[in-house]
């Protein structure tokens, strides 16, 4: 084992760049810049490019005038059935009624990404001001005082507006997440941690709400997520609210919980690459290597 895989070398360079006063240019370059020396030979780049040119020409020719030459059957059908969806914005109708199952799975993708990011590394390391500093910075404090309540109100409004106008839960969730990240980085709010049960419950709430509503209507309408007569609007509004909050929490998690380099728990770097994939010791009673040991 040598080079970049060597745990010792890995730790040593990490320590050097942290304690060093100046910018370690030799180290910055490979991380933040890419001089292209790792890319394949230039001939390969050109050959892949030449392969893709005819594909592009074919696709462009095939797509030429496509929008005008086809029958707009689906837009007509959507316009015809929109009154039955309980909302007047056709996009919201598609997302929460016609194709509500896709939206359910879409939030499940967010949950999957969040759980996957949690599984990558321990705890969280947030970049930001030292705790309590936001109060001493008048400009920042003013921005926070103004921006965060505005974002919150706008998010509520966007969620409600989604049933009739171009807006909805995902836009609102993104806005809320922006406010959350701002508060976290300014250290006004403790970042939500993966270990906190409320975080898990809210993050799961979007999918859970969808599945529970879907199953609850099953005995009445005979199909998953088929809203009973007259219930579509309130159910959609409730689902949108749960979605907005869940999306916001998940996006903040995806922001604060990605790993940092180097990982502080140095035990991870001393894993024997030939042994147990989870880095466990062979003997069941053997103590794991002390993380604080030099």
Partner 1 sequence: MTGAELWTTAAVFGPLLAALVALGGRPWTLKAGLALGSGTALAGSLGLWVEVTRQGPVRHLLGGWGAPLGIELWADGFSVAMLTVTAVVGAAVSLYSLSYFGDLSELDAGASPAGRAARYFAPLWLLLWAALNGIYLSADLFNLYVSLEILGLAAAALVTLAVTPKATVAGMRYLIVSLVGSMLFLLGVALLYTEFGTLSLEELAAAAPAGPMAAASLALMTVGMAAKTALFPLHAWLPPAHAGAPAPASALLSAVVVKGSFFILVRLWFAVYGGASDGGLLLMGGLGAAAILWGSVLALRQRSLKRVIAYSTVAQLGYLFIMFPLLAPEGLGAGGASGPASPEWSDDAWTGGILLALSHALAKAAMFMAAGNMTYAVARDALRDISGVAHRLPMSFLAFGLGGLSLAGLPPSAGFVGKWLLLREAISAGGWFWVAIITIGGLLTIAYVLMVLRHALDLKASSGDFRPVPKRMEWAALLLALAAATLGVRATETFQILLQGGVTPWS
Partner 2 sequence: MTEPLTVGFVLDGLVALLLVGLVFRLLRTRHLFEAIMLYVAYGLTLALAWVRLGAPDIALAEAALGAGVTGALFLNAWHRMAVRAGADERLPMESDP
Partner 3 sequence: MTPLDLYAWAGVAVFLLALHAVVTRAHLIWKVLGINLMGTGVFLILLAAPARRDPLVADPLPQGMVLTGIVVAVAATALALGMALRVMSRTGSPFLTVDPESADPDPDAPEPPS
- Sequence-distant (6+) residues with CB within 8 A of 206 are 107, 110, 111, 242, 243, 245, 246, 247
Counting every residue written for the chain, the total comes to 294
Q: Is 128 in the site for partner 2 (CB under 8 A)?
A: yes
The least distance separating partner 2 from the CB of residue 287, rounded to whole angstroms, comes to 23
Q: 97: which DSSP letter?
A: I
Number of residues that bind partner 3 (CB under 8 A): 75
Contact 144, 134 (CB under 8 A): yes
Interface positions, 205-224, toward partner 1 (CB under 8 A): 207-208, 211, 214-215, 218-219, 221-224
Can you tell me the distance from the alpha carbon of 9 to that of 80, in angstroms, rounded to the nearest whole number? 66
| Cα 213 off chain centre by | 24
Q: What x/- string results for residues 129 through 168 when contact with partner 2 is judged by CB under 8 A?
A: xx-----------------------------------xxx
Q: What x/- string results for residues 135 through 174 when contact with partner 1 is judged by CB under 8 A?
A: ----------------------------------------
What six digits make up the tokens of 17?
């760049």
Q: Is 14 in the site for partner 2 (CB under 8 A)?
A: yes
| Cα 97 off chain centre by | 24
Q: Is 118 in the site for partner 2 (CB under 8 A)?
A: no
Residue 209's binding partner among partner 1, partner 3, partner 2, none (Cβ under 5 to 8 angstroms by kind) is: none
CA proximity to 121, closest of 258, 276, 267, 288: 258
What six digits make up the tokens of 1?
């084992």
The least distance separating partner 2 from the CB of residue 232, rounded to whole angstroms, comes to 19
Q: Give contact residues for partner 2 (rule: CB under 8 A).
A: 14, 17-18, 20, 22-24, 27-28, 31-36, 89, 91, 123-130, 166-168, 170-171, 174-175, 177-178, 181, 185, 190-191, 193, 251, 254-255, 258-262, 264
């Amino acid at each position: 084992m040598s080079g970049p895989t060597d745990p010792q070398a890995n730790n040593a360079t990490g320590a050097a760049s942290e304690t060093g006063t100046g910018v370690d240019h030799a180290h910055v370059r490979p991380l933040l810049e890419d001089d292209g020396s790792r890319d394949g030979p230039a001939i390969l780049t050109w050959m892949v490019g030449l392969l893709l040119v005819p594909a592009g020409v074919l696709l462009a020719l095939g797509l030429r005038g496509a929008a005008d030459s086809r029958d707009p059957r689906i837009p007509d059908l959507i316009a015809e059935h929109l009154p039955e969806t309980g909302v007047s914005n056709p996009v919201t109708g598609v997302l929460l009624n016609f194709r509500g199952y896709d939206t359910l799975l879409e939030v499940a993708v967010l949950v999957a990404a969040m759980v996957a990011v949690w599984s990558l590394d321990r705890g969280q390391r947030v970049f930001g001001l030292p705790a309590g500093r936001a109060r001493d910075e008048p400009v920042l404090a003013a921005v926070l005082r103004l921006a965060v309540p505005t974002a919150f109100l706008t998010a509520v409004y966007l969620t409600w507006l989604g049933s009739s106008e171009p807006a909805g839960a995902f836009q609102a969730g993104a806005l809320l997440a922006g406010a959350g990240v701002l508060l976290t980085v300014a250290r006004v709010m403790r970042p939500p941690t993966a270990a906190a049960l409320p975080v898990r419950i809210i993050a799961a709430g979007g999918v859970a709400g969808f599945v529970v509503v879907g199953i609850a209507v099953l005995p009445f309408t005979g199909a998953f997520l088929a809203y009973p007569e007259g219930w579509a609007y309130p159910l959609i509004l409730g689902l949108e609210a749960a979605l907005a909050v869940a999306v916001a929490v998940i996006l903040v998690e995806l922001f604060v919980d990605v790993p940092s380099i180097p990982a502080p728990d140095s035990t991870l770097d001393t894993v024997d690459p030939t042994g147990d994939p989870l880095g466990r010791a062979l003997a069941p009673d053997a103590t794991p290597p002390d993380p604080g040991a030099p």
